Structure formats: C-alpha cells, structure tokens
Structure 1
Amino acid sequence: MSLQTSNLNRIVEIPLSHIRRPIAPVLDYSKIDAMVSTMEGKPMPSATCSLEQAEDFKGQLPPVDVLCIREKGQTYYFAFGGCHRFQAYDRKAASEQRDVPVRAKLVPATRHQLKLYVGSSVDDMFN
C-alpha cells in the first residue's frame, strides 16, 4: 500500500499482460522467491517481510498501485512500483503458461500526469 492509495479500499484484478511497466526494475531475487512461495501457499520471510506478515497474506500479495488512463475509448494501465510483485506474477505466469491476474488498486490518471513519469516518450505508449 502506498500513500496515494492508502484510502482506496477497492482492489481489482487486471491481467498481467494488460499492465505496461515502462521503467526497468532493480531487483532482489530472494525477495521475489519469497513472494512466489507465498503465492503458492508456502509463506516465506524476506528482507522486508517477516514470516508472520507473509502468513497474514494468505497466499496473496498486496495490491499494486496501477495508473488507469482512459483515452479514445481505450483503457491503459501503467505501473511504476511493485517491481518485485510483478516479477513474482511473471514467474507464476511462466510456470502456469497463462496470463495471471494481478491484484491492483487503480489510480485514475491522465496522459499529462503520465508524462511526469516518462517524459516525451509518453506519445509512444498510446500506439
């Protein structure tokens, strides 16, 4: 949960393939391993999550903040945080050979707001 979405209680599921992640992550692979294990029902601690916290997740990861932009009748999803959670979902999708749902909190945004994150490359993201 982030400061921006702490008051948003609605959690939705979005197919992993629908979420665009324009910035390359810097990853801690042991953290990803712990998240995958938690999703498989075998809670595992990591550097930032105790075993008790992992057990409280009951096989689910905390929702990811996702920007939701509606433009010309289309809905676009963008994420800039939650890199380790996304990598855990990527692994799950690969092991199950299917698109998997990502638990998310949607943050309504505009193209102009997205430009603050990605600069002039924003126009390339709506083609």
Structure 2
Amino acid sequence: MSFQSATLKTEYVPLNQIRRPIPPVLDLQKIDAMESTLKGTPMASATCGIDDIQSGELPPVDVFLVRQQGKSYYFAFGGCHRFQAYDRLSEGGKKEVQVKCRILPATKQTLKLYLGSSVDEMFD
C-alpha cells in the first residue's frame, strides 16, 4: 500500500469490469497461493509468508476509476497475480467474482500518462 492510497475507500468491483491494458508477467506459484487463500486455505509463496495472510482475503488492488459521460470505467496496472487468482475463481468469466479494490479517482488525461493516445480507444 502506498502513502497516497492508504486513505482511499475500499470497495468490491466485478472482475469483468476492470480493464487491464498492460499484459502481465506471472509467477504461477504465487497465483496458486493466492487462489488457495481466496478459497479459505492460506498458502505461503516465495514473496508472502503464511503469517501475512488473512484467510479468504487478498490485499486490495489499486484501481483507477474514470467517470465519463455517465459511465464508470475501471483500470488496473498492478496486482497481476491477484487478478489471475480472481480469474481462476471466475472459471474464465463463467462466474461473477468481486475484486477487493482501492479506488483512485482519475481522469482520461491521467490514463494518458500510462497509455498515451491509445487510451482514447478504451472509451465507448
């Protein structure tokens, strides 16, 4: 958790509403441990000891929320392993899964810092 996001509200957002514009690089053992934790059986990984895990919970993912023309758009750039664990629980999108998120208000202009002009294509 960063200093900037420590005081932001946490809410649950459906996995299928969060856009992830940058492809992840993944450690499968870490994803296995996170999926196990979400199922209620905490499992340590190379980067997270068993004492650091609350059963059934993963730390929230920082997600940008852009409101444009009455619609909400969610974007995430980190939390790759957590997203993969949630995706496994959704069985490839067959089940609706809620992701614990820390919401960071943003603008389309903010996203351009990360994505350049390609961000224009991501809005209806």
Letter of the 1:3 partner, please give it.
F
**1:21 counterpart residue number:** 20
**1:59 counterpart residue number:** 56
Mapping of 1:1-127 within 5 angstroms?
A: 1-8=1-8, 10-54=9-53, 57-94=54-91, 97-127=94-124
CA distance in 1, matches of 2:122, 2:49: 38
The answer to whether the Cα contact below 8 Å between 1:20 and 1:77 also exists between their aligned partners in 2 is: yes
The answer to whether the Cα contact below 8 Å between 1:2 and 1:65 also exists between their aligned partners in 2 is: no
Normalization by structure 2: what TM-score? 0.95
Gaps of 5+ in 2: none
| RMSD, matched Cα | 1.4
The answer to whether the Cα contact below 8 Å between 2:61 and 2:100 also exists between their aligned partners in 1 is: yes
TM-superposed CA distance for 1:47, in Å, is 1.2
The answer to whether the Cα contact below 8 Å between 2:43 and 2:50 also exists between their aligned partners in 1 is: yes
The verdict on how the C-alpha distance between 1:95 and 1:122 changes in structure 2, with shifts beyond 3 A counting, is: closer
Q: What percentage of aligned pairs have identical amino acids?
A: 56
CA distance in 1, matches of 2:95, 2:39: 16
The list of structure 1 runs, each at least 4 consecutive aligned residues, that deviate by more than 6 angstroms after superposition, is none
